[in-house]
Amino acid sequence: MCGIVGYVGPRSAQDTVIDGLRRLEYRGYDSAGVAVVRDGLLAVEKRAGKLANLEKVLIEAPLPRADIGIGHTRWATHGPPNDVNAHPHAGGARRVALVHNGIIENFVELRGRVEADDHVLLSETDTEIVAHLVELQVQSGVDIVTAMQRVCQQLDGAFTLVAIDSHEPDKIVAARRNSPLVVGLGDGENFLGSDVAAFIEFTREALELGQDQIVVMTRDEVLVTDFWGNPVQARQFHVDWDLSAAEKDGHDWFMRKEIFEQPRAVADSLIGRRTAAGKLQLDEMRLADEELRDIDKIIIIACGTSFYAGMVAKYAIEHWTRTPVEVELASEFRYRDPIIDATTLIVAISQSGETADTLQAIRHARSQKAKVLAICNTNGSSIPRESDAVIYTHAGPEIGVASTKGFLTQLVACYLLALYMAQVKGTRFGDEIDEVMRQLEAMPDHIDKVLQGAEQVYELARSHVGSRSVLFLGRHAGYPVALEGALKLKELAYIHAEGFAAGELKHGPIALVEDGLPVLCVVPPRGRDHLHDKMVSGIQEVRARGAHTICLAEEGDTSIEPYADHLIRLPGVPVLLQPLVAIVPLQLFACELATALGHDVDQPRNLAKSVTVE
Ligand code: F6R
């Protein structure tokens, strides 16, 4: 959601900023803009729509060659996505240009102040007001850094701000509160980005900015302070993936590439989790074993796909550790007055590490003395930084807006957490944990096998371009898979899709079933007969009412054949691990159906990769 780029150095500022914005496109946006300073003058260009619209204008009329620039992709909050509301915004005298990610909550009051000073505002954005406020400060005689400090002290809400002043053309100043920003450290050049993808082409050394911090950047120097100018030590880190990881690798969509990367992503997420003696170890886990032993309740908080990973985790953690688990949408958590204390473990699952709802939920939990453990894919992001412990998922960069490998690696991290807690609490014997680890280590091969059947799923998907509604059914750990399969279809193909627990069908949803309605059914493995047979009964019920049943069932399960109009085979795996293979055909189905419908799979309408506003 909103991408921010800044550059100072010898390259063309316009081109470097546009390159960075292109790498941030996946975050979701509806307008884009760039500003540079040359010969004491500000030059700004911005356009509604995709980056290509802006690039077209810049090819015809490039901005002056400059060595300092800022850029922005905007996801509209205040005011519709048009040229005027696009960022960067300039102050009234066109001395300062500024871009912003987040929401300024006291903007009405600030707007009143600015307008009372006879400033004319051109846009409907909260950002333009901040540009005017910063410019007012520099016009009063202070430098751009002091101006930024003074303005930040007046702002409420969430913001990353990046500004340039045409009278100080050697520096960029940026500030962050509750919104992401990282610094890329180059040699004789420096970068800013909403995430490291913005500058990964040029440097893999980065600096993590903390809450309420300001960074001033010239070609050769990066200085971080708080909002009052006191120097602070920012953490430097090395990015362990490179540009090729962020490219499409011959696939038509990032999403498709990421689906096919899942065997590797799952394998990477398992590397280094066992000692030479075979015991589980979670290196980044900063909670002591005694603290974990004291935990008597776990609450998992997350949004969207990460929430569904949390639902699977509940089955695994309760089964292996006998510790009660609640799973809660992060956006609801704070508002229900949850019962938490020092013996509650909050597990916050987030691919991006920047989801505002999840971030606010963990802050609330910590204020109630609960311990927070993050499961996250993004090193240096806010959620792990504000948690007591973290398990990183090692999926590599996920660019497609719809989460795929992020989900699978979250599942792996959840299984690891559950098994680690079982080891610490002594609720499972060592050889049982070993056995599950062996089964987990075999999963990359099983996922690979499912991917080899992609063509069959694609064909099936293409035959559904005319479908207006699709249902997904599952039971036990297959229920969250059904929900996730439906979410993928909704967000990519814009088709009405709903996931149900199969046992709940007859309590209402079965009324939706009519002739020809496609129903995708995740059939549990046969080992757990009561689950499997109940699911088969559910499938018979919908088929008897005219549904077209597409069943995902393990190899050798012949009992399902009479009731499946279409059968997709899954490798035989334990029921708790089945989500790792069962979701893959559903991802392929949604990706291919959306492609056949002509949709932009990587950037579905109205969606943002990282939802940094509540
Ligand atoms: C769906 C999807 C979203 C995210 C949700 C949480 O494909 O990607 O539902 O799962 O916005 O995002 P993170 O995991 O970054 O907190």
Q: Are residues 395 and 266 in the same domain?
A: yes
Angle at 377 between CA 387 and CA 407, to 5 degrees: 115
Q: What is the predicted pLDDT for the residue at 612? A: 79
Give the CATH number for residue 156.
Answer: 3.60.20.10
Distances from the Cα of 209 to the Cαs of 180, 181, 219, 224, 250, in angstroms? 8, 6, 18, 8, 35
CA of 587 to the centre of ligand 1 (A): 14
Q: Are residues 32 and 84 in the same domain?
A: yes
Distances from the Cα of 565 to the Cαs of 406, 538, 546, in angstroms? 31, 14, 11
Beta strands in 502-606 (DSSP E): 518-522, 548-554, 566-570
User: Residues 6 or more apart from 396 whose CB is under 8 A from it?
Assistant: 241, 245, 261, 265, 268, 405
Active site residue 414: no
Residue 368 sits at φ, ψ, to 5 deg, of -95, 15
Q: Is residue 166 part of a domain?
A: yes
Whole-model pTM over 0.85: no
Closest C-alpha residue for ligand 1 atom 13: 350
Q: Is residue 374 part of a domain?
A: yes
Closest C-alpha residue for ligand 1 atom 3: 304
Q: Are residues 236 and 300 in the same domain?
A: no
Task: Give exposure, 330-348, as e/b (b: 16+ Cβ within 10 Å).
Answer: bbebbeeebebeeebbbbb
Q: Is residue 446 part of a domain?
A: no
Beta strands 235-238 and 222-226 are unpaired
Q: How many CB atoms are closer than 10 A to CB 460?
A: 19
**Cβ(418)–Cβ(375) below 8 Å:** no
Q: Are residues 399 and 460 in the same domain?
A: no
Beta strands 389-392 and 371-376 are parallel
* DSSP tag of 487: H
Q: Are residues 219 and 275 in the same domain?
A: no
Q: What is the predicted pLDDT for the residue at 528? A: 63
Q: Is residue 608 part of a domain?
A: no
Domain encompassing residue 127 = 3-245
Give the CATH number for residue 577.
Answer: 3.40.50.10490
Q: Are residues 563 and 421 in the same domain?
A: no
Q: How far apart are CA 313 and CA 326, in angstroms?
A: 10
Q: Is residue 502 part of a domain?
A: yes
Q: Is residue 609 part of a domain?
A: no
Domain-terminating residue out of 193, 211, 245: 245
Domain-terminating residue out of 210, 245, 280: 245
Q: Is residue 96 part of a domain?
A: yes
Domain-terminating residue out of 245, 270, 302: 245
DSSP 578-602: THHHHHHHHHHHHHHHHHHTT--SS
Q: How many CB atoms are closer than 10 A to CB 96?
A: 32
DSSP, collapsed to helix, strand or coil, labels residue 328 as strand
Q: Are residues 237 and 252 in the same domain?
A: no
Q: Are residues 299 and 336 in the same domain?
A: yes
User: What does the radius of gyration of the chain's CA atoms come to, in whole angstroms?
Assistant: 25
Q: Are residues 147 and 237 in the same domain?
A: yes
**167: Cα within 13 Å, side-chain hemisphere:** 13
What is the number of domains present in the chain?
A: 3
Active site residue 609: yes
Q: Is residue 607 part of a domain?
A: no
pLDDT mean values, one per 10 residues, the chain (614 residues):
93 97 86 96 96 96 97 86 95 96 88 86 93 96 97 92 97 92 96 93 93 96 96 90 76 94 94 88 86 96 98 97 97 90 96 94 94 91 92 90 97 97 95 96 97 97 96 97 98 97 93 96 85 93 96 95 97 97 98 97 88 80
CA of 99 to the centre of ligand 1 (A): 25
Q: Are residues 294 and 376 in the same domain?
A: yes
Q: Are residues 54 and 12 in the same domain?
A: yes
Closest C-alpha residue for ligand 1 atom 11: 304
CA of 487 to the centre of ligand 1 (A): 11
Q: Are residues 405 and 266 in the same domain?
A: yes
